[in-house]
Structure 1
Amino acid sequence: MGSYIDIDSHDGKRFRAYHAAPAQGSGPGIVLLQEIFGINGYMRAMADRFAEEGYVVLVPDLFWRMKPGVELGYGEADFNEALGLNEALDIDLAVGDIGATLDALRTLPMQAGKVGAIGYCLGGKLAVLAAARLDLDCAVSYYGVGLDAYIGEIPSIRCPMLFHFAGDDAFCPPATREHLLAAFTANPKLEAHVYPGCDHAFATPERPHYDKPAATMAYSRTVSLLRRTLGPIHDLNALWERHCYYEFATRDVDAVMPTMIAEPYVNHVPTMTGGVGHDELKRFYRHHFVNANPDDTRLIPVSRTIGADRIVDEFVFCATHDREIDWLLPGLAPTGKYFEVPMLAVVCFRGDKLYNEHIYWDQASVLVQIGVLDPAGLPVAGIQTAKKLIDETLPSNTLMRNWATSAGKPI
């Protein structure tokens, strides 16, 4: 949780900003720019999240000249008040206050290195103007409103900048968006993504148009830009290796949990096993996973893709079904059968900690191998799926009855 600090404006006055700092004590800086609802719970939560990513964050009160301390919800009355404040806002003064916030951020003892800006809605517009008029190292605009009125400032943006557009945003209709995208092509530092079927404020969980998949993808792209331009760069490979070492080599639950954020989650997709939050996940690890795997369990690495905030790990899980494996084969008594199954782990990080894991595998293949599913007449295979993943020269299309019918046909 963060706290509020005072900032000196360029015209000799003072206003407040919410301040969140990373657990490691220092990091690059971010100025987080509010929606039209002031520094409400959502803005503070996002500041705390970016601090968890390793950034020193300030969220300036941009309405302070009219009404200090605005913190509105999303009901009708608050929405109408927010619209009034937005209409009355002096944009040039607001950009000046963002500049003062940048000055204050750079003087904080824990701020180290470069500084960026991220804005939502009103803040998305102000992020564009800040990138054009102020000294920033990167900027991000989430569904900025009224950008067409400032299209002439696009050429002045000198730092890398990322734009997230909602495909169905009434505040930025398709014609306006296409006009903006055309203007972006002249500036190679600009990157834009459109999220089809999404409406304005798709990244705000409390708003009716919240779209979690789009919000997750936009956030990942945002973190990617931040890592490239501001840092910090974490060795995700080493972090994941250490986590897996405690899970499968030492089988030490008390060592596993500190490799993750305070409230992580794990989802084994085919069986929906795992846990959400520290306590549920630790219970799962201790009683149903880490100490419950067969003694001969081994992982055969196949490939690993490392991004800015996640790892995609491809491997073969090998074991003998010599006990009930709660997370993989819940409710099935041991059969004594050996099995191998390809698995895919998508592992997301926040800063230098694991945030979540999504683990996928072909459950039908496991059931065939332990003898509880008869593959006759079904498009499923047993251990062959693992063998072919390792050796691509093994025959393809063996489950396709119609494969032979295309032999000799033009291709």
Structure 2
Amino acid sequence: MAGQTIRIQAADGSGSFGAYLALPPGGSGPGIVLAQEIFGLNEFVRQTADHYAEEGYVVIAPDLFWRQQAGVELGYSEAEWQQAFKFFQGFDLDKGVEDMGAALQALRARPEFVGKAGVLGFCLGGMLAFMSACRLDVDVAVGYYGVGMEHKLDEAAHIRGRLLLHFAEADGYCTAEARATIMQALQQRPRSELYVYPGVDHAFARPASPHFDKAASLMAHQRSVAAFKAELGPHYDFSALWDKHCEHEFASRDVDATMATMVAQPYVNHIPTMTGGVGHDALKRFYKYHFVNSNPPDTRLIPISRTIGATQIVDELLFCFTHSCEIDWMLPGVKPTGRAVQIPLVAIVKFRGDKLYHEHIYWDQASVLVQIGLLDPAGLPVAGMETAHKLLDEKLPSNGLMARWSNSQGQPL
């Protein structure tokens, strides 16, 4: 945890309460007030604050149970669940929204804060994010599986900013009937986005939850960050950042410079061969001994297309080389064959703030094996360098691997 504890004065003059403050690497930026689950200001909340700080935000996570008991920080044992529900049952929603407002005021008063502000919340915090959108001056509100929103929809007319809500299809705390009511009231509202994640349950975005769903969590996070960036910024030149990373990998072949373009704990996954590394030390070892200095001297990357999103880049390119040395990451254990290889390759590169967070790299390994002579394509639905040629010239013949293609010749269309 890189954050610090601060104090915030309550708006009603009843005292002050603690909050966790996380600052972005650049030292300043737009802001987010993060509303907790029913388990208090615990490790999940602090980690979430730290991650959004890495994205470029000044994040304040207030202790929202302070009016009952200051410093509540619960885990997920059965006894702690019972404690959490008692705090939830004793929670004053109106005062909670007031405290969110005080946290927003404190956020805007900080010297690190620049620009606009939003709110983010989970569970109880999801409801508070919605209510903050209704009652407070926020530019964007993002709520995960909020509880009780169907009872406050009469306040939705007061929402001025962007609203993004995530729902779990199997959520027993927000039933299908409640969700339908919310959808009917909000989905036609301008600048509202409502997403339902099929087959998942409440708390699907919390790693410690028995209902944690990695795929749904990733998709929801991408949508959340996209909403915050659209309304608040910050905006980074992902294209230039990725180009610089590739320059260090393939041109200067500088491992330290390559690592410096990435977050503190990045990862790389070459999907076909499952090579790469998770975390700084494992990835640096991979880069130093099995990638950056292990590619053939004539390696070339030929760009075909690039799609730039709110959180990531998708690069389509041709990866070209002569198999003049052993390539641990692509052809582990295969001795050099001296053959030329050209393969279409797709890189999906995720960022946190202005640093690379991870890379997912895809290519057709069968095509590589055909081109170096380790796989006989006869009778198999695979091709060699032809796949690269057709990427550059779409008019080259299609369906050559389909034995039944001729059967449809002359058939009615």
TM-score (norm 2): 0.99
Cα separation, 1, equivalents of 2:308 and 2:273: 26
SS in 2 for 1:227: helix
Cα separation, 1, equivalents of 2:184 and 2:191: 14
In structure 1, the partner of 2:275 is 273
In structure 2, the partner of 1:76 is 78
In structure 2, the partner of 1:211 is 213
Mapping for residues 377-388 of structure 1, pairs under 5 Å: 377-388=379-390
Mapping for residues 363-402 of structure 1, pairs under 5 Å: 363-402=365-404
In structure 2, the partner of 1:63 is 65
In structure 1, the partner of 2:260 is 258
Q: In structure 2, give the amino acid aligned to 1:231.
A: G
Unaligned runs of 5+ in 2: none
Deviations 1:312-335 (A, max 9, x none): 000010001111100000010111
Q: Residue 174 of structure 2 is aligned with which of 172, 195, 202? A: 172
Large movers: runs of 4+ above 3 Å = none
Q: In structure 1, give the amino acid aligned to 2:74.
A: L
Q: How far is the alpha carbon of 1:186 from its aligned partner?
A: 3.6
In structure 2, the partner of 1:146 is 148
Cα separation, 2, equivalents of 1:340 and 1:62: 57
Q: In structure 1, give the amino acid aligned to 2:5.
A: Y
Cα separation, 1, equivalents of 2:235 and 2:375: 46
Q: How far is the alpha carbon of 1:185 from its aligned partner?
A: 3.0
Cα separation, 2, equivalents of 1:8 and 1:185: 36
Q: How far is the alpha carbon of 1:152 from its aligned partner?
A: 1.2
In structure 2, the partner of 1:19 is 21
Q: How far is the alpha carbon of 1:156 from its aligned partner?
A: 1.6
Do 1:155 and 1:187's aligned partners in 2 also have CA atoms closer than 8 Å?
A: no
Q: Residue 124 of structure 1 is aligned with which of 123, 126, 129? A: 126
Do 1:165 and 1:193's aligned partners in 2 also have CA atoms closer than 8 Å?
A: yes
Do 2:187 and 2:194's aligned partners in 1 also have CA atoms closer than 8 Å?
A: no
Deviations 1:126-146 (A, max 9, x none): 000000000001010100011
SS in 2 for 1:266: strand
Q: How far is the alpha carbon of 1:153 from its aligned partner?
A: 1.5
Cα separation, 1, equivalents of 2:156 and 2:200: 24
Mapping for residues 86-165 of structure 1, pairs under 5 Å: 86-165=88-167
TM-score (norm 1): 0.99
Cα separation, 1, equivalents of 2:44 and 2:80: 15
Q: How far is the alpha carbon of 1:248 from its aligned partner?
A: 0.8
SS in 1 for 2:152: helix
Q: How far is the alpha carbon of 1:410 from its aligned partner?
A: 1.7
Identity of aligned residues (%): 59
The reply on whether 1:5 has 2:6 as its aligned counterpart is yes
Cα separation, 2, equivalents of 1:378 and 1:137: 56
Number of matched pairs: 411
Do 1:263 and 1:278's aligned partners in 2 also have CA atoms closer than 8 Å?
A: yes
Q: How far is the alpha carbon of 1:206 from its aligned partner?
A: 0.4
Q: In structure 2, give the amino acid aligned to 1:366.
A: V
In structure 1, the partner of 2:44 is 42
SS in 2 for 1:408: coil
Q: How far is the alpha carbon of 1:383 from its aligned partner?
A: 0.4
Cα separation, 2, equivalents of 1:62 and 1:291: 52
Deviations 1:28-86 (A, max 9, x none): 01000000000000000000000011100000111000011000011111111111110
What is the CA RMSD across the aligned residues, in angstroms? 0.7
In structure 2, the partner of 1:360 is 362
Q: How far is the alpha carbon of 1:370 from its aligned partner?
A: 0.2
